[in-house]
């Protein structure tokens, strides 16, 4: 919370109280009018400071909400990550992350893009035939991995490689 804004609001309210108290001792109308103007100014100042403190508090709450969401996301990704293992399933040197059967939970075997995986994203590779050779392509980062095969069967779970 914005402590400076709160202290300023308290200080302005104290001034307003002092001014209001001094109003009782005023004798002439012009003295009273002058003090009323001072009083209005002090109240306005207090109102502005309170608004600043409220805004600062709202911004902090928003920041906490964002950070909590990021922490949840990170924890979810750590769980998701542990379901995969790095494998070299083809003739080529390409490595991909394959779903482990142990953590499949009924999900079909598939391969994930290594680059995207290291960036915290779960992107499933797509087989694309190019000039008769099968390549695995990442639809997100466009990484292309040569398999060294012209045809491939369905992907297996990580344990099979």
> Rounded to whole angstroms, what are the CA distances from 33 to 28, 30, 40, 85?
9, 5, 11, 80
The stretch near Zn ion (CB under 5 A) out of 38-46, 63-71, 98-106, 132-140 is 132-140
The stretch near Zn ion (CB under 5 A) out of 51-59, 65-73, 79-87, 139-147 is 139-147
| Strand segments (E) across the chain | 84-87, 96-99, 111-112, 126-130, 133-137, 144-146
Query: Which of 110, 113, 124 lies closest to 155 in space, CA to CA?
Result: 110
The stretch near Zn ion (CB under 5 A) out of 44-52, 75-83, 111-119, 129-137 is 111-119
Q: How do strand 111-112 and strand 96-99 relate by DSSP bridges?
A: antiparallel
Question: Is 113 a residue that touches Zn ion (CB under 5 A)?
Answer: yes
Nearest CB to Zn ion, comparing residues 46 and 116: 116
Exactly one of 52, 54, 95, 115 binds Zn ion (CB under 5 A); that residue is: 115
Catalog residues that contact Zn ion under the rule CB under 5 A: 113, 115-116, 123, 138, 140-141, 143
């Amino acid at each position: 919370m914005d402590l400076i804004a709160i202290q300023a609001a308290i200080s302005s309210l104290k001034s307003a109280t002092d001014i209001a108290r001094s109003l009782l001792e005023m004798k002439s109308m012009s003295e009273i009018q002058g003090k009323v103007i001072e009083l209005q100014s002090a109240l306005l100042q207090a109102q502005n400071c309170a608004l600043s403190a409220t805004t600062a508090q709202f911004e902090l709450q928003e920041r906490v909400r964002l950070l909590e969401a990021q922490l949840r996301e990170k924890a979810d990704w750590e769980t998701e990550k542990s379901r995969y293992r790095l494998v070299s399933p083809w003739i080529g040197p390409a490595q991909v992350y394959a779903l482990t059967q142990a953590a499949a939970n009924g999900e079909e075997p598939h391969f994930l893009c290594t680059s995207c995986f290291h960036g915290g994203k779960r992107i499933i590779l797509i087989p694309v035939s190019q000039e008769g050779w099968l390549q695995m392509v990442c639809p997100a980062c466009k990484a292309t991995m040569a398999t060294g095969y012209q045809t491939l069967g369905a992907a297996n779970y990580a344990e099979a490689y």
